[in-house]
Amino acid sequence: MRINSDRKVWIDLIYLDNAATTKPCTEAVDAAVEAMTVNFGNPSSLHRAGLNAQLAVDEARKLIADSIGADNSSVYFTSGATESNNLALRGASAAYGKKCRKIVISAVEHASIDETASDLEKKDFEVIRVSPRDDGRFYAADFVNACDENTCLISMMLVNNETGYILPVKEVFNAIKRRFPHIITHCDCVQAYMKVPVKANALGADLISLSGHKIHGIKGVGVLYIKKGIRVIPVVTGGKQEKGIRSGTESVPLICAMGAAVKKLAPTINERFKRVSELKACLLGRLADIDGIAVNSPDDGSPYVVNISVIGRRSEIMLHFLESKEIYVSSGSACSKGQQSGVLGQFGISGKRADSAVRISMTAETTEDEIDALANALREGIEKVRG
Ligand code: PMP
């Protein structure tokens, strides 16, 4: 890997792992720098420096609230979506789980939901994991049938991080709210936010998790949207920041960076979706010319994530071959650190095909030339790499 003379930009790098993290945009970096240099006060301080920091945090809060069609007062900053997901599940189950001891989740959730649900299982909650049917698709009826009077919470993601599959969240939440109005609905929108429209009311979500670093913000900041009137018992207690829902001095630089990224991206969601859909079509076209590649993502999934299997070549081996060509992809969910998460198996992709899965995740800035380079490298890798 080479870095140019002012050490700011990687040269020759083809970065196709944007579902793991994105490069912060200039606007986000500038906002963070301003918050670290000029506007470095503690938002809780009573002097002007504190007030200015509070105003900056609230400006970011408004940008994010507006982007999901919510009220400013419903947006709570956290250290990232892992914490938002923990707060949603632990906080809502603590508030509503005294009598209702059942939690329903999809079987393809990110580890920050799945592991948290497993932990709640140890604390005597019953957790039902709803799987896709044999055709690899989720059906709203299966979620509704999994819920009952004893259910306190349902959590499902909007876009799956490994395959790009779009779950029928709106259909499920609206059906559940009709039959069981007492059930709290949570949606992990991390891989959907700023890529497809995410509107709290349309989704029927009481709680929504978002992450800064997946949208060209900076790592270490996220949001939990909490609909007005919904109770969440705090997980982190202390100085009562974020109205006591999440204590701890707000990370003003990271929050401002997330706000700046949203300001930049929110107006172009549809335009970028169209562009990335063209890129996905281009990628699939190039891959169709190569023997031994199977596509694991559905045609109607988010175009930002394309999961393929290079039959007979283990993921890590192919990943490192591509890396030797300065092309960065992922072998699955980045958060599982090389461990298979079982999510692909849920979608009917198992055994050797799952072992050879490669996730390509693009942005609107990805180019056709980069896709050509990837296709050529895959072709070469299939010839040169064994095992
Ligand atoms: N949910 C999903 C769907 C994700 O893809 C991720 C990040 N891999 C997370 C939650 C966790 O987000 P964060 O890195 O902000 O903790």
Over the stretch 220-272, which tens digit does the pLDDT of each residue have? 999 999 999 999 999 999 999 999 999 999 999 999 999 999 999 999 999 99
Distance of CA 303 to the CA centre of its chain: 14
Question: Residue 224 has what pLDDT?
Answer: 98
Question: Which residues does the annotation mark as catalytic?
Answer: 335
**Closest approach atom of ligand 1 to CA 335:** 8
Pocket perturbation via mutation, ligand 1, pick of 82, 105, 169, 207 by most ligand atoms within 8 A of CB: 82
**From ligand 1's centre to the CA of 334, what distance in Å?**
9
Whether 338 shows a pLDDT value over 70: the answer reads: no
Distance in angstroms (rounded) separating the CA atoms of residues 366 and 180: 44
Over the stretch 307-330, which tens digit does the pLDDT of each residue have? 999 999 999 999 999 999 999 999
One-letter identity of residue 295: V
Distance in angstroms (rounded) separating the CA atoms of residues 297 and 141: 23
**From ligand 1's centre to the CA of 268, what distance in Å?**
22
| Dihedral-angle region of residue 77 (phi above 0 means left; psi in -120 to 50 means alpha; beta otherwise) | beta
Distance in angstroms (rounded) separating the CA atoms of residues 100 and 120: 13
Ligand 1 binding site (Cβ under 6 Å of any ligand atom): 80-82, 85, 110, 112, 157, 161, 188, 190-191, 211, 222, 334-335
Q: How does DSSP assign 359-378, residue by residue?
A: EEE--TT--HHHHHHHHHHH
List, in sequence order, every beta strand (DSSP E) within the chain: 2-3, 10-11, 14-15, 75-78, 102-106, 126-130, 151-157, 184-188, 207-211, 222-226, 293-295, 305-310, 327-328, 357-361
Distance in angstroms (rounded) separating the CA atoms of residues 173 and 186: 9
**Closest approach atom of ligand 1 to CA 334:** 8
**From ligand 1's centre to the CA of 110, what distance in Å?**
7
Over the stretch 131-180, which tens digit does the pLDDT of each residue have? 999 999 999 999 999 999 999 999 999 999 999 999 999 999 999 999 99
Question: Residue 7 has what pLDDT?
Answer: 62
**Closest approach atom of ligand 1 to CA 83:** 16
Whether 335 shows a pLDDT value over 60: the answer reads: no
Mean pLDDT calculated for residue range 37-46: 97
**From ligand 1's centre to the CA of 161, what distance in Å?**
8
